Structure 1
């Protein structure tokens, strides 16, 4: 597995359960996904109550048809403890978590599943299977993680990337991370996004390397190396998401004050930002890994039910988008 991948995908805990209090943005995604054809989701090692319950709830929501991959006896025991029936749900019996991760990825490679979901195993195990040179789901893109956040005080969904997989990405990696997030935004039907490349300040400053990389990413966008978004940076967090803060600083930009995607300089900054929004602003965070042949749902045991449901909905919508896109490419070819 790539040395820049990490287990920091233990994402923010969810703030509150499924209620009408402030989950409107997530509920709209769930409703949209429920209106699509149900795709198949290979769930690797759903051997605790939280991971199995999330997969079963996604099925009840009409989002996905789960295929449970792991030790059959353990999965059935967890289901019994939950009081849930597994009637009509396929179980692929694998002896342990490593085999379950490989088995889930193999189902996708064989065309028997459209999405991969992490169960009760380490993030490195499932991502290692995805990245395997033999039978994995690699593409030319670098894997990256996106937190899709429903923040009560923000009008739109807020994407934060990368806060869970790439620790200190270089410029080439950041270009992939940025393109992955842009493609997700468009694939979810949310339109052309406004992207803020974050740093501590909004001016290019040689002593702060992230400002130079932000400027380079903007120029790459100008030259068509990154497509599908309005991109600006460096921007500090305040003038990226607050119109008044941008106005005070004299920043004139289609992005400043109205960003929909926040690209952070490194994993530490992103993880702290996402958790701050969760614990101090009452946000919920859905988590998904991009850059593989199919989306990978990467949830944490601390996630709320609404965040788990939203993660599955996002994966289902995006997997449907990718499948339709591949179909069009085949027809055109």
Structure 2
């Protein structure tokens, strides 16, 4: 090989290496992927190399590798990020309005104050992520995984969350008004002070009572077992056939009736609640606590209130037809007939 040829070969290698170091891309893709509005970067490998890009509207980053990328404050409106790897990415205050993120991996990402309104996050993995004050209005989160994530103060109004996995998620003060979360898994989730007005959390199947009351195998339903809904607003919320076993509903408010029909409410704390006119028909409410609860006009037809604790409970006008009250504790209860008594109210 001549000296000139060798020099040319060395320069080509150096040029390719510089392109790789500066752009964070394989040399073969250095010319094809330029981060800008409408960029065509599907499948690009940009791990840890992206610092900041103001405008990436409509960019095609489908299945791109963006792990650890810093896109703080970037505008990704309408971008295609389906199947993209955004684990541990810095996405605070990013705009992802109407972005396509189905199947994307966002575990460990920081999405604080991000705009994900109307975004498609179906089957996305957003576990252990930071989503405080995020806007998910009308977003599609069907079958998404947000387990162990922090969504404190998030807006989820009118979001679609069927079969979302939000186990152990922090949902303090979230607004889920009008959201649809049928058969969602919210086991151990913290919904302290959340707004769930007119939300649809119906389960597909009525959950069976726990052992030893039943040995039936549970089927698909909304799961709120051990969830904390302290002080939540449930006006018009549909919780039919939901599993609320051991949930904390202390201080829950429903200015318009909520529906708990055929739900599993074993050992639920309903103290200091305002649930006048709400429906509990056929619900399994064994060992619930209704201390100082207001359930006037509520429908307990066929409900199992065995071993329940009713102290200072307001039940004026409630319907107890066919209800089971075996071993229930009654103390200063305002019964459906208006009588104040410390013996069981008349059950027809």
Normalising by the residue count of structure 1, what TM-score does the alignment of the two structures yield?
0.26
Q: Looking at secondary structure, tell me which structure has more helix per residue.
A: 1
Normalising by the residue count of structure 2, what TM-score does the alignment of the two structures yield?
0.25
Q: Looking at secondary structure, tell me which structure has more strand per residue.
A: 1
Considering Cα pairs closer than 8 Å and 6+ residues apart, tell me whether 1 or 2 has the greater RCO.
Answer: 1
State which structure, 1 or 2, has the greater radius of gyration over its C-alpha atoms. 2
